[in-house]
Amino acid sequence: MKLRLCILLVVPLLLAAMPPQDQSGGTDEMHLAKTILKRVAPSIVKVVAENAKKYIATGVVTEKKYILTSSLIADHPHDKLYIETEKRRQLPVSIAGIDPESGVLLLKSDADLPPALKLADLPDTGDRVLLVGLFYNRFPAIFSGILSTVADDFLLVDAAVAPGAAGGAVVNLQGELVGIVRGLFSYSLSPEYTFRDHSAEILISSRQERENGALCYAVPAGRLRWVSDQLKRFGRIRYGWLGLDLDGLTREVGMVAPGSPAQKAGIQAGDQLLEADGIALQSNEEIMRFIRSLEPEKQVRIKLLRQGKHLVKEAQITERPRPEEFDRAFADANRDWPFDIPPDSLPPRVKKIQYFLTGTGAALGIDAIEITPELAQQFAIREGHGLMISRVYPDTASAKAGIKAGDIIVRLAGKEIASNDHLRLTLQGVPKKKPVVVELYRNRQVLKITLTPDEETDIERKIQVFQEKLGGQWTDIRRINEENKKKYEDEIRRLREELEKLKKKKGEKDDRPDN
């Protein structure tokens, strides 16, 4: 009995003597964070752009004479640009170059800089990281998070950032630089209005972005190496350029800029890109990222698919034109034209508008609707899908070829057609003035009709039709808003009248003499 009592007394005493620690090993984590902060902080600097005001950002020493920071600091006019180290030393710096696309600014200093921070290899999604930088004007500050998403050109970090933290270091648990903070993660909204038919697509979306305060966006170390090298060598980023535009998510070429490397190599609208220099390209994003990373003047072998045949093309990459030259490069091929919409006709949820018109360059001269599986069964369409022609315009390719309203298109140029999008993308791959075979059903019979698509010249009409449709929708929206407003005003007026009646009754009751 005495022995049992002794054990019961000793255990609580032992527990009381142990340091407080949660199940996740909080004591060890705090010690690790302090150790990493002590290791990393000397390489972190405060970047100051000074004029009548002071603008600050965080910077990271990555090489003997160089500091990487956020390009936001260069947006402010300044007479003086300098860094301040952890030991409060002020050192003058100059701008060595800027990459607007990644938001990275490279600074150079001839002074003796603090030790450089080692750049890490590409991390994995889910890795624990620490953010070291400024918290407003306080320096240094540290935050903890995990990598929510990892890609070659961006990191998404589950950690909040404060003003001044842009340009700060994202480090792993070894104290190596994983990336540089660009800012709060924000996302744009989906298109507000969309109009599509077989030969055109018009999108209207809001340019407004919403910020997510719990996530931040960072530029990964691999990208920083490349950007830093480019800026040191050329003072700018020399992005590779092939001169093509890709459609949707299909890896299909939508447009080819005249005189571009793509055109010189024989790449055409409608080609589907498969490989470049033996590297499989799985998405439009991969293709564009790969092309941008190539050195200008480099030869690249591109494997593509054209109307069921595999082809290989050789192209010589050039430097991507400046924005104003880029627009001109696509002037003849580009059908992404902005059009005017009266500001007072904008619907309530669209504040800053962005709009694009994408046409195919080829047209059949029809209106068509997608058929449902039930209709496909009723009309004995073996493919189970297709486009039913609802209207054939006079003097068009379809009218001249004898196509009629009620016909159901199932194939064009050997490709199955299940939607207006399919037809539009297929037409984009049809060379000008080249005949194509249209397979369709008429009275439950399969017909093959050869025609040469018209060149799309009536884009202005599509814009007008679209504006009329949206104008009608927006008029309805405004009418509904006015009706609701009137309804609320009537309700408020009624409530006020009821309130006055109640006050009057209460006053009459108060005026009555007591019995």
What distance in Å separates the CA atoms of residue 174 and residue 182, rounded to the nearest whole number?
Answer: 22
Q: 31-34 long-range CB contacts below 8 Å, 24 or more apart?
A: 32/173, 33/130, 33/142, 33/144
Per-residue pLDDT of the chain in tens (515 residues, 90 and over written 9) = 333 333 333 333 333 333 444 444 456 777 888 899 999 999 999 999 988 788 899 999 999 999 999 988 888 778 899 999 988 899 999 999 999 888 899 999 999 999 999 999 889 999 999 999 888 878 788 888 899 888 888 898 988 777 788 899 999 999 999 999 988 776 544 444 454 544 455 555 544 455 555 688 899 999 999 999 999 999 988 989 998 877 656 778 877 888 889 999 999 888 888 998 988 888 877 888 888 888 899 999 999 988 888 999 999 999 987 755 655 555 444 443 333 444 444 444 444 444 444 444 457 888 888 888 888 888 889 888 888 988 888 888 899 999 998 999 999 988 888 887 778 778 877 777 789 999 999 988 999 999 988 876 554 455 555 555 555 444 444 444 455 556 656 666 777 777 777 777 766 655 555 44
Domains of the chain: 40-186+211-233 (2.40.10.120), 238-329 (2.30.42.10), 362-455 (2.30.42.10)
Q: 500-506 long-range CB contacts below 8 Å, 24 or more apart?
A: none
My answer on whether omega of the bond before 140 falls inside 30° of 0, hence cis, is: yes
Which three-class secondary structure state does DSSP give residue 72?
A: helix
Is the separation of the CB atoms in 388 and 371 below 8 Å?
A: yes
Nearest C-alpha neighbor of 318 from the set 274, 259, 276, 271: 259
Residue 413 DSSP class? T
Is the separation of the CB atoms in 122 and 149 below 8 Å?
A: no
pLDDT of residue 23: 44
Angle at 90 between CA 88 and CA 96, to 5 degrees: 130
What six digits make up the tokens of 364?
């059949």
- Residue tagged 């003035």 (tokens): 433
> Which residues, 6 or more positions from 135, have their beta carbon under 8 angstroms from its beta carbon?
141, 162, 164, 165
What is the full DSSP assignment across 454-497? EE---HHHHHHHHHHHHHHHHHHHHHHHHHHHHHHHHHHHHHHH
> Which residues, 6 or more positions from 94, have their beta carbon under 8 angstroms from its beta carbon?
81, 107, 108, 109
What six digits make up the tokens of 160?
């909040």
What distance in Å separates the CA atoms of residue 151 and residue 218, rounded to the nearest whole number?
Answer: 10
pLDDT of residue 249: 61
Is the separation of the CB atoms in 53 and 126 below 8 Å?
A: no
Nearest C-alpha neighbor of 59 from the set 113, 3, 121: 113
- Residue tagged 């068509």 (tokens): 368
Is the separation of the CB atoms in 202 and 338 below 8 Å?
A: no
- Backbone φ and ψ for 54, nearest 5 degrees, come out as -110, 130
Cα 395 from chain centroid (whole Å) = 42
Amino acid (1-letter code) at residue 152: D
Is the separation of the CB atoms in 149 and 217 below 8 Å?
A: no
